[in-house]
């Protein structure tokens, strides 16, 4: 198991409570939750920290403010931060109200996010 199934269930429950139409996709060694065919949030296991991280796609403006939070840091896989994405340590989403905060930021940004749908080959 590459990601925390309990955290995945918590996210599923929060989305279902809000009647969010979502799908799931295993990628980047974790699980991504897609809303309107766009990456919304996800779960990633950080081998260096030996902990699960919440990945949040919240946009550049919100991520600048979010990085002031002690449990939040830039999302990077290759040494370069991905604009508009952040990772949140478990301390930042352990409480339901904290998880709800991050998911709300993700859902608020989702309509503004670009879709990365690949064009089908002819």
In this predicted model, what pLDDT tens digit does every residue of 14-25 receive, in sequence order?
999 999 999 999
Tell me the C-alpha distance between 115 and 117, whole Å: 6
First to last CA, the chain: 37
Taking residues 71-84, what's their average pLDDT? 87
Q: What phi, psi does 107 have (nearest 5°)?
A: -70, -35
What per-residue confidence (pLDDT) applies to 85?
95
What average pLDDT is seen over the chain?
A: 90
Which of residues 1 and 64 earns the better pLDDT score? 64
> Could you read off the pLDDT of 38-77 as tens digits, one per residue?
999 999 988 888 889 999 999 999 999 999 999 999 998 7
Residue ranges with strand state E in 18-71:
22-27, 30-35, 38-46, 51-57
Decide yes or no: CATH 3.40.640.10 for domain 5-111.
no
Q: What is the mean pLDDT of residues 67-89?
A: 90
């Amino acid at each position: 198991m590459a990601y925390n199934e309990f955290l995945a269930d918590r996210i599923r429950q929060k989305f279902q409570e809000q009647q969010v139409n979502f799908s799931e996709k295993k990628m980047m060694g974790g699980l991504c939750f897609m809303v309107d065919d766009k990456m919304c949030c996800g779960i990633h296991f950080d081998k260096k920290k030996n902990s699960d991280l919440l990945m949040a796609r919240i946009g550049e403006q919100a991520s600048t403010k979010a990085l002031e939070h002690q449990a939040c840091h830039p999302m990077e896989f290759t040494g370069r931060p991905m604009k508009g994405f952040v990772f949140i340590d478990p301390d930042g989403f352990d409480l339901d109200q904290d998880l709800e905060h991050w998911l709300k930021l993700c859902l608020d940004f989702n309509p503004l996010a670009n879709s990365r749908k690949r064009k089908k080959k002819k």
